[in-house]
């Protein structure tokens, strides 16, 4: 009979290869059914253990290397200054005033999220073309996958309200001289003069920290988003911004080189991304499985369908349906912050409930190491 070595079988027919593994015949000596084992040796709902190294980059404000099996990601955080005078259409929140040295007037949660998005202070970027995967050739323009990942990271950052705006604001009061000069330049309207009258002795926002989040995939073996989000979380948690202040004479922001005076970012909650795939062997009529029988391992969704967690690259090509959830259990009960389910119709409400249950376990796993 014609037989192929396992790697060639896997490359030619990833779906059949996965099915053959999941339905391995059971040993007849044991009474209990053995669970399905995937080609990578994991059980159906077993995830790879994340490994995190933080602050390994010398010139970044914060950084992290996250590994999920053979998926390895580096995230670097760099804070850059955005002067308020350079913002063309500033949102209302950037015109707030405060007493010198006092605390800023608090912002409504929704206004804050809106301002943060409008100012564009969080800028994630994903680079896949590093030789991380044969499908993403080095030296090419960002692929659709890289752009999709970056957009999803940005949406998740905005939706979870991870970074509060007040940590990124740099306050200061403009000198009276500078204000007089400006008044001479601008044809001051009555309204403006009123504003200036209020401004004496008060501080306004002079600049913002813009947080650039660069994510580099060293190696991609499936589940890119979970790894990338884990790296973003780990890097942001270890980010310190230098002490910055407005210098009235020089009319610019100065940063303190003293590390003692720098402060670390505080994050809201602990959102974690958990991704799943559904392998439906019944959707492909060409696929026959000779080993499927009474002795074969049972599918966890029944009749030739499996719910798999943390897919690797070959499983991603075989699983058409995917579920990706961002969950946060920091405030007690598990909250679902984002969900994306596409590609098939196997998952119903019962599967979704199972997904939430597994996501809670996975959240605890990430919490331990983040």
Partner 1 sequence: MPSHQSAQVNTLPHPDGSATVSSNGYTVLCTVNGPLEAQRRDEQPLEAFIEVHIRPANGVGGPPERSLESTLLSFLHPIILTPALPRSLIQITLQILSVPPTAQTLRTGSAASVARIALLPSLAHAAQLALLAARIPMRTVACVASLAVVEGTGEVGVVGVGETGGGKVEAVHAVGYSRQGKCLLWEMSGRGDGRGMKAVEGEARRRCLVEGGKGEDVVMGGVEGRREDLMGWLEGTIGGWLKGQQRWKGES
Residues of this chain that bind partner 1 (CB under 8 A): 110, 113-114, 117, 144-145, 147-148, 150-152, 154-155, 158-161, 283, 286, 320-322, 333-349, 352-353, 356
> From the CB of 283, what's the least distance to partner 1, in Å?
8
> From the CB of 328, what's the least distance to partner 1, in Å?
9
Picking from 158, 167, 170, 153, the residue whose alpha carbon sits closest to that of residue 240 is: 167
**H or E stretch covering 361:** helix 349-369
> From the CB of 137, what's the least distance to partner 1, in Å?
12
> From the CB of 12, what's the least distance to partner 1, in Å?
11
> From the CB of 121, what's the least distance to partner 1, in Å?
14
Structure token pair of residue 333: 């009960």
| Closer of 246 and 363 to partner 1 (Cβ) | 363
| Closer of 115 and 204 to partner 1 (Cβ) | 115
| CB-based contact 143:258 (threshold 8 Å) | no
Residues 6+ apart with CB under 8 A from 79: 61, 209, 210, 211, 212, 239, 241, 242
> From the CB of 49, what's the least distance to partner 1, in Å?
27
> From the CB of 338, what's the least distance to partner 1, in Å?
5
| Closer of 53 and 266 to partner 1 (Cβ) | 266
Residues 6+ apart with CB under 8 A from 134: none
| Closer of 104 and 154 to partner 1 (Cβ) | 154
Structure token pair of residue 306: 């499996």
| Closer of 45 and 322 to partner 1 (Cβ) | 322
Structure token pair of residue 32: 């209990």
The HSE-up count of residue 253 (CA atoms within 13 Å, CB side) is: 20
**Which residues make beta-bridge pairs with 2?**
none
| Closer of 146 and 296 to partner 1 (Cβ) | 146
**H or E stretch covering 314:** helix 313-318
Distance CA(344)–CA(310), nearest Å, equals 18
**Judging by beta carbons within 10 Å of its beta carbon (0-12, 13-18, 19+), is residue 206 exposed, middle or buried?**
buried
């Amino acid at each position: 009979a014609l037989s192929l070595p396992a790697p060639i079988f896997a490359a030619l027919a990833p779906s059949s290869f996965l099915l053959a593994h999941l339905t391995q015949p059971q040993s007849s000596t044991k009474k209990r059914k053995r669970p399905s084992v995937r080609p990578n040796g994991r059980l159906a709902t077993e995830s790879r253990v994340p490994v995190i190294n933080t602050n390994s980059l010398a010139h970044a404000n914060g950084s992290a290397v996250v590994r999920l099996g053979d998926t390895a990601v580096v995230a670097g955080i760099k804070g850059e200054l955005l002067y308020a005078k350079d913002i063309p259409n500033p949102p209302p929140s950037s015109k707030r005033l405060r007493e010198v040295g006092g605390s800023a007037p608090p912002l409504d949660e929704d206004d804050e999220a809106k301002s943060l998005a409008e100012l564009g202070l969080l800028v994630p970027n994903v680079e896949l073309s590093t030789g991380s995967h044969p499908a993403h050739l080095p030296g090419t323009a960002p692929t659709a996958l890289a752009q999709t990942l970056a957009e999803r990271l940005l949406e998740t950052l905005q939706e979870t309200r991870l970074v509060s705006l007040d940590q990124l604001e740099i306050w200061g009061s403009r000198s009276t001289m500078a204000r007089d000069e400006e008044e001479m330049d601008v044809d001051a309207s009555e309204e403006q003069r009123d504003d200036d009258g209020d401004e004496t002795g008060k501080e306004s926002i002079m600049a913002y920290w813009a947080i650039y989040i660069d994510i580099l995939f060293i190696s991609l073996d499936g589940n890119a988003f979970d790894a990338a989000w884990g790296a973003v979380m780990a890097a942001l948690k270890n980010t310190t911004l230098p002490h910055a202040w407005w210098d009235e004479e020089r009319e610019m922001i100065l940063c303190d080189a003293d590390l003692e005076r720098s402060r670390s970012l505080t994050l809201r909650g602990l959102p974690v991304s958990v991704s799943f795939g559904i392998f439906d062997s019944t959707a492909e009529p060409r696929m026959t499985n000779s080993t499927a029988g009474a002795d074969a391992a049972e599918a966890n969704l029944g009749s030739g369908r499996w719910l798999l967690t943390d897919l690797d690259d070959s499983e991603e090509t075989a699983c058409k349906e995917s579920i990706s959830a961002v969950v946060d259990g920091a405030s007690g009960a598990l909250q679902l912050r984002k969900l994306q389910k596409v590609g098939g119709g196997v998952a119903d409400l019962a599967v979704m409930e199972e997904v939430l249950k597994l996501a809670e376990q996975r959240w605890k796993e990430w919490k331990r190491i983040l």
